[in-house]
């Protein structure tokens, strides 16, 4: 059986590809364990600065695997810590993770994309939370992250009607950062990831942490959090190097220190 999650390294970027094309990349435990393991590996690797999570042209992921999940019981879900156990690895990654989405990103697929820090989409992408059609609700953060991304009006519309939203609408609504022609999605995503990878890694991680803090706190707490980090970066060699390079009109050579 083919690996359901593939990894590759492109310079300082770790690429993670969901590989269950026969089921439109439906997410079962093997897939989620594979993603968690890949993220864990790239997080621990000092040569990697950020990650890209992708699927194939037809589907990023058409949701959690319905056939696999249909007979689950409450007690089994609770005892196995379903979702929290392995899906949350995406959320807890400290290096940036970019979702590169082509085709369907539905249900758990949309939720996985939203756990990432940036969503780049191809013009074929379709997003939605169609769980209600199955007699369930989104369970991997969809009812929480979608309204934060697109506002209550559109989130309610998507979750309650189960309709799909195309890439252009998703970009207008603020879910998607940029839309590219399908055949350019991966090149453009890797280009953006490579740009990030050239910066100071600890600062890259701090920027991610600080932006995420804006969703977890009041404005004054968030600004205070940012201020503390800002003060602290002056302890980094990379701050001295970055500013010296600007003044000396040369490219900085960051050492991630």
Site residues (CB under 6 A) for ligand HXC?
23-24, 26, 62-67, 83, 104, 106-108, 130-131, 134, 138-140
The nearer residue to ligand HXC, 131 or 171, going by C-beta atoms, is 131
The nearer residue to ligand HXC, 14 or 108, going by C-beta atoms, is 108
The nearer residue to ligand HXC, 63 or 96, going by C-beta atoms, is 63
11 is catalytic: no
CB of 134 to ligand HXC, least distance (A): 6
Angle between helices 142-150 and 108-115 (to 10 degrees): 60
Neighbours of 115 (CB within 10 A): 20
CB of 85 to ligand HXC, least distance (A): 11
Tell me which of 63, 108, 109, 128 is the catalytic residue: 108
Distance CA 3, CA 26 (A): 14
Sign of CA dihedral 106, 109, 115, 116: negative
Neighbours of 166 (CB within 10 A): 15
151 is catalytic: no
57 is catalytic: no
- Burial 227-245, CB ≥16 within 10 A → b, else e: eeeeeeeeebebbebbeee
CB of 55 to ligand HXC, least distance (A): 12
CB of 112 to ligand HXC, least distance (A): 9
Helix, strand, coil percentages in the chain from 3-state DSSP, rounded to 5: 50, 15, 30
Distance CA 175, CA 115 (A): 11
169 is catalytic: no
The nearer residue to ligand HXC, 133 or 152, going by C-beta atoms, is 133
Tell me which of 34, 63, 128, 131 is the catalytic residue: 131
- Catalytic center residues: 64, 108, 111, 131
């Amino acid at each position: 059986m083919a690996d359901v999650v593939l990894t590759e390294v492109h310079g300082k970027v770790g690429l993670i590809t969901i590989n269950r094309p026969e089921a439109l990349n439906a997410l079962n435990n093997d897939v989620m364990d594979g993603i968690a393991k890949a993220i864990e590996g790239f997080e621990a690797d000092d040569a990697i600065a950020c990650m890209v999570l992708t699927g194939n042209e037809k589907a990023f992921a058409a949701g959690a695997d319905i056939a696999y999940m249909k007979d689950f019981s409450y007690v089994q879900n609770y005892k196995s810590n379903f979702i929290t156990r392995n899906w949350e690895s995406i959320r807890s990654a400290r290096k940036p993770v970019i979702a590169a989405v082509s085709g369907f990103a539905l249900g758990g697929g949309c939720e996985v994309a939203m756990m990432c820090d940036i969503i780049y989409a191809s013009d074929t992408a379709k997003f939605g939370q169609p769980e209600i059609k199955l007699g369930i609700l989104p369970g991997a953060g969809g009812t929480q992250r979608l309204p934060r991304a697109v506002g209550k009006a559109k989130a309610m519309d998507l979750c309650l009607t189960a309709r799909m939203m195309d890439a252009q609408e998703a970009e207008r609504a603020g879910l998607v950062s940029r839309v590219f022609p399908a055949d350019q999605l991966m090149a453009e995503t890797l280009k953006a990831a490579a740009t990030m990878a050239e910066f100071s890694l600890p600062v890259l991680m701090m920027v991610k942490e600080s932006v995420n803090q804006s969703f977890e706190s009041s404005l004054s707490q968030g600004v205070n959090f940012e201020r503390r980090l800002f003060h602290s970066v002056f302890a980094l060699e990379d701050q001295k190097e970055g500013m010296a390079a600007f003044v000396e009109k040369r490219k900085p050579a960051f050492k991630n220190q």
